[in-house]
Amino acid sequence: MSRTLRGRDYLSLADFSGEEIREILALAVTFKRDQRSGHDHGLLRGKSLAMIFEKPSLRTRVTFELGMRQLGGHAVVLGSAEIQLGVRESVADVAANLERWVDGIMARTFEHATVEALAAGARVPVINGLSGLEHPCQALADLLTVQEKIGDFAGSAAAWVGDGNNVCHSFLLGAAKLGLSVHVATPEGYAPDPTVVAAARTAGEQTGAVVRLTHGPYEAVAGAKVIYTDVWTSMGQEAEKAARARAFAPFQVDGKLVAAADPEVVVLHCLPAHRGEEITSDVLDGPHSAVLDQAENRLHAQKALLALLL
C-alpha cells in the first residue's frame, strides 16, 4: 500500500490529484472485496480517531466508527454539547489537545473555516466529514459507486439536479479530476460556488471533463449516465424552506426526468432523502437507484482514506 498520502489532511478534493483519488478508490475496491470474503485488515491496530460532530449524522458516524474498528483501530465520538467548538474552548486549543491523544481527527461542521482551523492547529491528519462548503468523503463514495455502475469515467456525463450545495461542490471537483463531465441544473440563484466551478473546469481541461451550468433539468439529463440530486434545504437553512420549495419544484427527479436520460441511467442521492420533494419514491426505490450502494460505499471509501492517511 502506498505511503504517499500518509499524514495528509483531507479537507477538499481540490487538494488531491486525479491519481491520488484513483489510489483511494482502488484501495476501497480491495477493502470491499476482502470484507465480503471475510478477510480482515488490521492496518490501523493501535490507532485512534477523534470524531467531532456539530451536526447530527447516521452514515458519517456509523461508517467512520465501523471503519476504524474493522481496520483494528478505535474511534472516539465527540458531540457538539461535549466540546462546543469555539465557545467552551477555541478550535485551536481543541486541536492542540486532540493531537496529543489521537492519530487523526474527523470533523462534521457547519463552517468550512472550522475544519481548516482544526487542520492548522493539529499535527495529525484532519478529515472533513462535512462542512458548509464541501462533503469530500461523500464524493469518494459517489465516485466509487459511479465506477462500479458505468466503468470508466472518461467520455461519460453526470447530471446534478437541484441545489448547488456542498455535496455538489465535492462531486464536481472529484468528477472533473477523473474525466467525468457534469451538467449542473439549478434554479436561478442556487448555482454552485463560482470558485469551485472554476477549479473543476481547470481540472477538466486536463481530463476532458466538461462542467456545464444550466437552469433546465431536462437539458442537463439529456444523455446522462448518472443523475444526482440532494435535499433542497440543508441543515441550517430551515428558515428558507418555503422559498426553496417553490424555487426547486420544477427540479424534482421523477420518472419523467429519469426517462429523458440514458436508458441505463444510475440515480444517486447522498441521503437522507425527502420523498416527494427532490425525488419521488418510485425513483428512489426503483431499478435505476443506487442510493444504498452509495451508502454502503461510504464505509469502504472511508476505510481506504483512513488507511492511507493515518
Active site residue 230: yes
Q: Which run of H or of E encompasses 302?
A: helix 291-309
**What grid cell was written down for 57?**
449524522
Distance of alpha carbon 168 from the chain centroid: 8
Tally the residues of the chain. 310
Measured between alpha carbons, how far is 10 from 170 in angstroms, rounded to an integer? Answer: 12
Instruction: Tell the residue number behind the cell numbers 466508527, with chain if given.
Output: 65
Q: Which of 70, 138, 147, 294 is catalytic?
A: 138
Q: Which of 61, 269, 298, 300 is catalytic?
A: 298
List the beta bridge partners of residue 158: 182, 226
**In a 10 Å sphere around its CB, with 0-12 CB exposed, 13-18 middle and 19+ buried, how is residue 73 labelled?**
buried
Q: Which of 163, 269, 270, 300 is catalytic?
A: 270
Q: Which of 230, 244, 252, 262 is catalytic?
A: 230
Active site residue 294: no
Measured between alpha carbons, how far is 34 from 105 in angstroms, rounded to an integer? Answer: 26
Q: Which of 59, 61, 108, 288 is catalytic?
A: 108
Active site residue 147: no
Q: What are phi and psi of 11, to 5 degrees?
A: -100, -30
Helix locations, 122-254, DSSP H: 136-150, 166-178, 194-207, 217-221, 241-248
Active site residue 270: yes
What does the H/E/C string look like for 35-54? HHCCCCCCCCCCCEEEEEEC
Query: What is the number of H-type helices and E-type strands within the chain?
Result: 13, 9
Report the 10 Å Cβ neighbour count for 20.
17
Q: Which of 135, 244, 269, 300 is catalytic?
A: 135
Active site residue 138: yes
Active site residue 274: no
Query: Would you please indicate which residues are annotated as catalytic (active-site) residues?
Result: 108, 135, 138, 230, 270, 298
